[in-house]
Amino acid sequence: MKNPFARKTTPTTESPAADEVPEVLGRGTGLNGADIIELGVSHAACLATNRIMVDGAPIRFALRNPDRVSPHDSGWSFFAGDENDVYMDAVSNHGVYAINTVANYDPVIIRILDEAPGTAWVRNGDILIPEPQGFPEPRD
């Protein structure tokens, strides 16, 4: 998987090995099941990186892929912004989560969840704003 925001990223080290991260919610996430609250948002699937779900980094980039939207897949992907292509190529560095779970890690996404597929967002302080360069072009 290529990071669509790679033009903005800097290389990062690998996430901690699976045995160095506590197993919570079956994926080594930082919150345990009792910490996840219902936020009144979708439970459809989305992609989020371990930089967010394990390391606790804020969501700095979000995009809604129009090719993935279905009743069970929201099309949303969330990135901390420092993931490079090598990091993203390792399937253990990202996972599929319910949007509600990701919103518990960083509620900044709640405001954009109803935005149209084919949109991209970048963090500006405590909010996500439309990505000035628009939805990223597919990369090889």
Q: What are the tens digits of pLDDT across the range 31-63?
A: 767 778 888 788 889 999 999 999 999 999 999
Is 57 within a domain?
yes
> In angstroms, what CA-CA distances link 68 with 36, 38, 54, 107, 122?
25, 24, 24, 22, 20
- What per-residue confidence (pLDDT) applies to 64? 95
Pick from 10-24, 77-91, 100-114: least confident: 10-24
The range of the structural domain enclosing residue 108 comes to 6-130
* Structural domain contains residue 93: yes
Cα–Cα distance, 43 to 86 (Å, whole number): 29
Count: domains in the chain: 1
Instruction: Please indicate, yes or no, if residue 1 is contained in any of the structural domains.
Output: no
Residue-level pLDDT at 107:
93
Residue 135 lies in a domain: no
- Tell me what pLDDT residue 10 has: 36
CA dist., res. 89 & res. 114, Å (int):
28
Would you say residue 122 lies in a domain?
yes
Please report whether residue 76 resides in a domain. yes
Tens-digit pLDDT profile for residues 87-131? 999 999 999 999 999 999 999 999 999 999 999 999 999 999 999
Judge whether 137 lies within some domain.
no
In the predicted model, is pLDDT for residue 9 greater than 50? no
Under the banding of pLDDT at 50, 70 and 90, the label for residue 138 is: confident
